[in-house]
Amino acid sequence: MACICANAINNGVKRTHFYLFLCLFSIGKYCNAQFDQRISASYNEAPLIDVIMELESEFQVKFFYNEKWFKEGTVTADLNGLSIRDALPKILEAQKLTYVLRAPNYVILLPDEGDSNQTLTVDNSRNERVSIGSLDLSAEKAKISGHIINGENNAPLNGTVITIEENENRYLSDVNGYFELTLPIGDYNIKFHHPTMVDYTISTTLNSDGKLNVQMFEDVFVLEEVVISTEAIDQNVTKTITGQEIIDIETIKSIPAFFGEADVFNSVLSLPGVSKLGEGSSGINVRGGGVGQNLIQIDDAIVYNPSHLFGFFSTFNADAVSQVNFYRGSIPVEYGGRLSSVMDVEIKNGNKSEFTGAGGVGFINSRFLIEGPVRKDSTSFLAGIRAAYPTYIIRRLEDEDLKNSSAFFGDANLKIDHLIDVKNRISVNGYISKDQFDFSDEAEYEYGNKAISAEWNGQIFQNTFIESTANYSIYDYTFKDITDPQLASSLNANVNQFTWDNKFQTETGKHKLSYGTSLTGLSINPGDYQKGSSESILQPVSIAQEDGWLGALFIGDEYEQSDKLSFYAGVRYSIFSGGRPGLEEIYHGPEPRLSVNFQTTTTSSIKLSYNRMRQYIHFISNTTSATPIDLWKLSNESIRPAIADQITLGYFRNFEQNMYETSAEIFYKKTTDLVEYKNGADLFLNQDIEGEIVQGEGQAYGLEFLLKKTRGNFNGWISYTFSRSLIKVEDPNPFNTINNGDFFPTNFDQPHNISAFAKISLSRRLSINTNFTYNTGRPISYPESAYQIRGITVTDFVERNKYRIPDYHRLDVSFVMATSLKREKKIEANWSLSIYNIYGRRNAYSVYFKTNEITGESESFQLSVIARPIIALSYNFKF
């Protein structure tokens, strides 16, 4: 979706109705029925805004306008018996406004007095035609210039392709989104194309030199609880890359969340093919992959542990997030290093024209974010912080140990964005997250991520742009056990990563080339175990540090052969060197990527993709759920890199002018050298962890369906996924062969997954959001026999993951109520009441067997992490 506006870029008005009505021009046809409804009302000096709201309420029509256009005058008219269509001229008579009707039910109000000297005018009689400049009969040519920006955050959109359809000439916007082109006087259709935005075409009449500022949007955006899509052909159908999702901040915020805290992971989890093992488990599982197979980045800097409080919250402040790019199918060549998915969290650029902010106060945590200009129009900052304060709750409990305990978690963002000149822009982003928990003077732990990234965007040739990024990330944890002074210990471990990426983008004709280099330095300190007190008799242990280098060259080309057929083909060649001292090894190989989009109609397409990914760093975790103290380990002579080949075939179809999006995708993924663990593997401070690991062959396949309603008072989506994730481990040593060398389910094999989200706008103030999740229970091993040894009853687990825990399902609901409907309010605020697990389902996290120490009998138990509804109230605001 795109829209155009006069002087819009820096006027500080964001998401006003003014933008929206222009965006709606791309909707094609009138819809008569809605506007032929008869009115039975008369008005006497009624404020126009009241009349509009009454019509909206009574006839289910939507008005779009800029209130600034409204004159002081009122409406005095007898409308009895008139249709809406006939009544509108009377209503607007005193307002110097005209209107355009658009399907399905939109009434777009427009100022009736164009200013030919303004940057842009709209010729209402010709609907979508824009008149540029004043009529100058002497002129033969004229220059159109302007800026193209992201309508969501005012960020300039460099690399936007501007095509004059009449002569097929193409131009590119620079790093500031600026473009300039000279054309003979006349009428033109100008098409704007940007890879992350929806294409937009506008009809213009070029009279003389003029400015044309363009705002582009993603396919959908949310405005006052109404989701509007303006494109006849939506991105889900037209994009060549399959399996890519762009999740905007409004979607993230609208999904009911644990303790009411908007969470990036929640929105990703609602996508088909994405699941997690339950409450209290960190990370996500994508198309049968483990949590360590996802590349999670914040402004290009990697985040090794994206979870607070062992997985209950993600470490990303939703207020600071611009959007989340999530790839699970075809992954562009600039990404590598993980097998299953890429989650690229983009932090907003600060507002360059005025100070704005947002925040929220909740039951367990609060947050605050402020952004604004450092130097108007060129430099901005964004600073955000989130902090949780569960300690006051913990200390109110009766348990003496808990009274002496404390907990904290939080995160902070700081971003500086600076436009150097028209062709160069730099930004620096700093990020920190921390979790801390002290238990009754017995144990303390803390863990956290730190990341800093710097990015330079520049135009180095007319049609070539560079994006150079340098970033440094560190994840570290400390665990102190001070229960017994003799055994008091302190364990520290960390993962450090430095990456320098250079990505070039060149557009020539129908080709869009991406190519570049990536260089990553990795350093892992697997564990430094020290005495935790002077009385401690523990022997300090330091596991040898592992270092490695990972380099990659990549090139990819997105080629649009015709309106119906487009390709994306590329290859990434990666090379790794390093590993545990003494076992260093070099691995390298190509990672081809291919994607084909065949658009069968204007509203449907078939996509096919193939991907190869290589992963040289392994997540070592032998527990049900990932823990903060799990290890990362580099490939070496004994541990080979894992390689995944995935093929995806999908059919995408939209209905009702993109109101409904549907898709069906099937995928098959084969992975070699997946890391698995021997029975009873001991990973803690193990100097020779290679001896505990076996590598097997993975196999995942599935079918994913999605139905999405993108606009209206009732919108949302439902997805269903059937998938399997299996692994086969055969080892020369028969004792290390698992389940007789047959394929068996991985820990995260959950064949059936249903995810549904609905947003119901009851009024302008009140909306209800609901979220339902269903998963087949995850695999688990049950004992099939028992035996007595030394008087102890021991259960015998033979076959790994043969059984399943009970199925998981949960319904969450949130009610969001705006505090005020005033349109000129300085602070927009709402109250959000969320109920997580509304029917109090005791979803099994695990089933375990334990011998009763008194009776000696083996008993089985189910552990449910959240066994009741969790109700939370939060107050959210922005200014």
CB of residue 677 to other proteins, shortest distance in Å:
8
Among 213, 230, 622, 814, binds other proteins (CB under 8 A): 622
Among 343, 780, 835, 838, binds other proteins (CB under 8 A): 780
Name 189's Cβ contacts closer than 8 Å, sequence gap at least 6.
164, 165, 166, 201, 202, 203, 204
Pairwise CA distance, residues 845 & 404, whole Å = 28
Nearer to other proteins, 48 or 729 (CB): 729
CB of residue 301 to other proteins, shortest distance in Å:
27
Q: CA angle at residue 300 from 294 to 302, to 5 degrees?
A: 45
136: contact with other proteins by CB under 8 A: no
868: contact with other proteins by CB under 8 A: yes
Q: First vs last Cα of the chain: how many Å apart?
A: 26
40: contact with other proteins by CB under 8 A: no
Pairwise CA distance, residues 700 & 725, whole Å = 4
For CA atoms 287, 290, 292, 298, give the dihedral sign. Answer: positive
Phi, psi of 726 (to 5 degrees): -125, 160
Nearer to other proteins, 557 or 731 (CB): 731
x/- string (CB under 8 A) for other proteins, residues 729-748? -----xx-----------x-
791: contact with other proteins by CB under 8 A: yes
Binding positions for other proteins, 536-575, rule CB under 8 A: 537-539, 541
CB of residue 386 to other proteins, shortest distance in Å:
19
Provide the token pair at 606.
């078939």
Residue 291 near residue 626 (C-beta atoms within 8 A): yes
Question: Candidates 163-171, 449-457, 515-523, 781-789 — which segment interacts with other proteins by CB under 8 A?
Answer: 781-789
CB of residue 410 to other proteins, shortest distance in Å:
16
Pairwise CA distance, residues 804 & 750, whole Å = 9
x/- string (CB under 8 A) for other proteins, residues 797-836? xx-xxxx---------------------------------
For the purposes of burial, counting CB atoms within 10 Å of the CB of 441, is it exposed (0-12), middle (13-18) or buried (19 or more)?
A: exposed
Residue 37 DSSP symbol: P
Binding positions for other proteins, 312-331, rule CB under 8 A: 312
Nearer to other proteins, 40 or 855 (CB): 855
Among 53, 553, 606, 863, binds other proteins (CB under 8 A): 863
Residue 298 near residue 471 (C-beta atoms within 8 A): no
84: contact with other proteins by CB under 8 A: no
871: contact with other proteins by CB under 8 A: no
CB of residue 727 to other proteins, shortest distance in Å:
13
Q: What is the DSSP string of 562-586?
A: SSSEEEEEEEEEEEEEEESTT--EE
Nearer to other proteins, 352 or 778 (CB): 778
| Torsion angle, alpha carbons of 835, 836, 840, 845, to 10 | -170
Binding positions for other proteins, 673-702, rule CB under 8 A: 677, 679-681, 685
266: contact with other proteins by CB under 8 A: no
CB of residue 751 to other proteins, shortest distance in Å:
18
Residue 396 CB: number of other CB atoms within 10 A? 9
Nearest CA among 554, 592, 579, 689 for reference residue 641: 579
749: contact with other proteins by CB under 8 A: no
Pairwise CA distance, residues 237 & 652, whole Å = 6
x/- string (CB under 8 A) for other proteins, residues 507-536? ----------------------x-------
Binding positions for other proteins, 204-233, rule CB under 8 A: none
Pairwise CA distance, residues 490 & 479, whole Å = 6
492: contact with other proteins by CB under 8 A: no
Among 294, 490, 781, 832, binds other proteins (CB under 8 A): 781
Nearer to other proteins, 361 or 792 (CB): 792
Nearer to other proteins, 220 or 626 (CB): 626
Pairwise CA distance, residues 457 & 155, whole Å = 12
CB of residue 699 to other proteins, shortest distance in Å:
19
Among 784, 825, 827, 831, binds other proteins (CB under 8 A): 784
Question: Candidates 162-170, 233-241, 326-334, 785-793 — which segment interacts with other proteins by CB under 8 A?
Answer: 785-793
Nearest CA among 6, 20, 454, 430 for reference residue 210: 6
Q: Which residues pair with 3 in a beta bridge?
A: 215
Nearer to other proteins, 35 or 845 (CB): 845
CB of residue 453 to other proteins, shortest distance in Å:
30
User: Helix or strand or coil: residue 388?
Assistant: strand
CB of residue 785 to other proteins, shortest distance in Å:
4
Binding positions for other proteins, 269-308, rule CB under 8 A: 280
Question: Candidates 68-76, 228-236, 704-712, 863-871 — which segment interacts with other proteins by CB under 8 A?
Answer: 863-871
Nearer to other proteins, 503 or 728 (CB): 728
Nearest CA among 3, 92, 96 for reference residue 52: 92
Pairwise CA distance, residues 696 & 741, whole Å = 9
795: contact with other proteins by CB under 8 A: yes
Among 553, 647, 847, 873, binds other proteins (CB under 8 A): 847
Name 494's Cβ contacts closer than 8 Å, sequence gap at least 6.
474, 475, 476, 477, 524, 525
Among 29, 68, 790, 822, binds other proteins (CB under 8 A): 790
Binding positions for other proteins, 638-657, rule CB under 8 A: none
Question: Candidates 48-56, 152-160, 209-217, 435-443 — which segment interacts with other proteins by CB under 8 A?
Answer: 435-443
CB of residue 310 to other proteins, shortest distance in Å:
7
User: Helix or strand or coil: residue 361?
Assistant: strand
Question: Candidates 87-95, 243-251, 573-581, 851-859 — which segment interacts with other proteins by CB under 8 A?
Answer: 851-859
Binding positions for other proteins, 436-465, rule CB under 8 A: 437, 439, 442-443, 445
CB of residue 622 to other proteins, shortest distance in Å:
5
849: contact with other proteins by CB under 8 A: yes
Pairwise CA distance, residues 626 & 277, whole Å = 10
Nearest CA among 375, 297, 356 for reference residue 153: 356
873: contact with other proteins by CB under 8 A: no
Name 839's Cβ contacts closer than 8 Å, sequence gap at least 6.
811, 869
Pairwise CA distance, residues 323 & 222, whole Å = 13
x/- string (CB under 8 A) for other proteins, residues 370-409? --------------------x--xx--x-x-xx--x-x--
Question: 84-91 and 48-59 are packed helices; what angle lies between their axes, rounded to 10 degrees?
Answer: 170
**E runs forming strands in 251-378:** 274-275, 285-286, 294-298, 301-302, 307-308, 313-314, 321-327, 341-347, 356-361, 365-375
CB of residue 863 to other proteins, shortest distance in Å:
5
